[in-house]
Structure 1
């Protein structure tokens, strides 16, 4: 497996879709990408990911040979969030990507040609014990999401699953979600921003969550759980063109990813260890990580709840067609 790193891709969904027309992402595409007819029976595919705990199963699956045994040669490419990955997949730079459900629903409702192909990650469903937490820094007087009115809250991508879920935490705590001031920061920069007082709170995921806690920070809400205790947070996806033109490669990716998710669920210690290969988390903090769930299938009811909240708060301009988006 080859690993690359990119800056966040600045193209907007609609601009990308217009530029691509109907032609961009089928067949051979992307950095080293190959289609169905690759020589030697190996398809080289590039997957856009975020360097967080969510994608550990992909790294484990590659290490265990789940993808190679099906003739897939993976390149991992890192980005700040799904909003950067979607245009790269639609534009043919990547064959597959990892993105939260709100990003995918925004894209689909705006007629960006994306198709979810494999489940990604789900919340643990436990308040105060989820892999994602709405946190405040050491010594903060804030003890409830209600107190975030007029405060600065860091999320990794604006107008996305982060602000949607934080708003729901504020709403459930009795506050006005419209009064929260959101700022965009990469997950790995959030611990320092909290410690330095540059933000009042941050929605962080592992392994950044463990870092915040090690610095004396605390979790005041589990925002993903507030949306739904069964929330499907993210999925792996491709472009509709690539799926239509490369059905066998997509099927192989689905099968290998399903095996990887199952393996990750059964081997939490290996999940923790592999995190040190693509994140900066010290080994001493590995035992403190809260791991998510990696179910075989998405929970549609939870995705529908997320969509309704997105429409309510103005993140989604129209109702997404989940029948078309989901596998």
Structure 2
């Protein structure tokens, strides 16, 4: 968002997500407790996640029964994406979530109990710049569409990279599903998104003009958990992350199998997903000092945009070394 008076938001998806979370909390309060059961079965762990190829390890693990083989009772809770996954943890409808760093950090300000356990994927190629075909140069951009979090941050970095003041460009925030249509209508000149929404933009009359790595941005996904739950279930969380890491290695070895799993679990198109996962590193790892430095840059951006009022306590919410200790 370039500045409050130049950005128009479309909060419908966020409102629907919030309503869904509230209903789930009201109707299923007794089903989200992962403290275990008298039968001795493993406690239930619900992982909230979005719907795109970057979550391929989780889809593959679920489809192949990898959690069950590890003695775990894990359920994937698919949400709209963006902050909704972390919000599910805050609402108590999930114990863990998969979120991009740029999306997780604002949620950590509003809910200081959220903890980042480690990175399970990263890429400088997965998010692509889509411009209308008649936009020959970034200098011709007057309006851009954007999602929250990584999309907004990457949009500003893209414009700055090309010597364009983001305040001179009108940035329309919307959902991934709406943005390709906005391009087709001529409402925007371009946007930055992942597949299938990048490919849909090409089908709607756009062209791929690069990826976020071209201007120094990396897309990283973290596994998050609530601190109260984590303190009582650290070993369990480590086992879950270990399965996700193993599934990530399988995705790298066999992208087609991963795409098939994503199609069955989330109805994603096989060909586009297979191509997309080939652009992502699914090497799980601990958070490092470099990740903290990157988080500070994102938070500084959010503070400058007045999207958050304060910074999270990095030493508390970013658990450096946790993955190596509990899942590595």
Shift in Å, 1:286: 5.2
Q: Which residue of structure 2 lines up, in the alignment, with residue 237 of structure 1?
A: 224
Matching residue within 237, 258, 262 for 1:250: 237
8 Å Cα contact 1:31/1:46 also seen in 2: no
> What TM-score do the two structures reach when normalised by structure 1?
0.78
- CA distance in structure 1 between the aligned counterparts of 2:83 and 2:19, rounded to whole angstroms: 9
8 Å Cα contact 1:80/1:156 also seen in 2: no
Matching residue within 135, 139, 158 for 1:141: 135
| Counterpart secondary structure, 1:41 | coil
Q: Which aligned pairs between 1:1-327 and structure 2 lie closer than 5 A?
A: 7-9=16-18, 32-38=31-37, 39-123=39-123, 125=124, 130-137=125-132, 139-144=133-138, 146-148=139-141, 150-151=142-143, 153-157=144-148, 160-223=149-212, 225-228=214-217, 231-283=218-270, 285=272, 288-289=275-276, 291-297=279-285, 298=287, 300=291, 301-327=293-319
8 Å Cα contact 1:307/1:319 also seen in 2: yes
- CA distance in structure 2 between the aligned counterparts of 1:190 and 1:325, rounded to whole angstroms: 32
> What TM-score do the two structures reach when normalised by structure 2?
0.78
Shift in Å, 1:55: 0.6
Q: Which stretch of the first structure deviates more once superposed, 201-210 or 52-61?
A: 201-210
Q: Which residue of structure 2 lines up, in the alignment, with residue 19 of structure 1?
A: none
RMSD after superposition:
3.0
8 Å Cα contact 2:97/2:224 also seen in 1: yes
- CA distance in structure 2 between the aligned counterparts of 1:74 and 1:7, rounded to whole angstroms: 25
8 Å Cα contact 1:35/1:249 also seen in 2: no
Q: Which residue of structure 2 lines up, in the alignment, with residue 3 of structure 1?
A: none
Shift in Å, 1:89: 0.5
Deviation track 1:28-77 (CA, whole Å, cap 9, x = no partner) reads: x8573342433342222222111011111101112233211233223222
Distance 1:30 1:77, change over 3 A: farther
Shift in Å, 1:232: 4.7
8 Å Cα contact 1:193/1:199 also seen in 2: yes
- CA distance in structure 1 between the aligned counterparts of 2:247 and 2:135, rounded to whole angstroms: 42
| Counterpart secondary structure, 2:112 | coil
| Counterpart secondary structure, 1:296 | coil
Q: Which runs of 5+ in 1 are unaligned?
A: 1-5, 17-23
- CA distance in structure 1 between the aligned counterparts of 2:213 and 2:109, rounded to whole angstroms: 22
| Counterpart secondary structure, 1:187 | coil
* Number of residues of Structure 1 aligned to a counterpart in Structure 2: 295
Distance 1:44 1:134, change over 3 A: same
Distance 1:214 1:111, change over 3 A: closer
| Counterpart secondary structure, 1:295 | coil
Q: Which stretch of the first structure deviates more once superposed, 257-266 or 186-195?
A: 186-195
Q: Which residue of structure 1 lines up, in the alignment, with residue 323 of structure 2?
A: none
8 Å Cα contact 1:43/1:71 also seen in 2: no
- CA distance in structure 2 between the aligned counterparts of 1:283 and 1:261, rounded to whole angstroms: 17
8 Å Cα contact 1:53/1:291 also seen in 2: no
Distance 1:202 1:10, change over 3 A: farther
Higher helix proportion: 2
8 Å Cα contact 2:72/2:240 also seen in 1: yes
Shift in Å, 1:132: 0.7
Shift in Å, 1:216: 4.4
- CA distance in structure 2 between the aligned counterparts of 1:140 and 1:243, rounded to whole angstroms: 51
8 Å Cα contact 2:112/2:312 also seen in 1: no
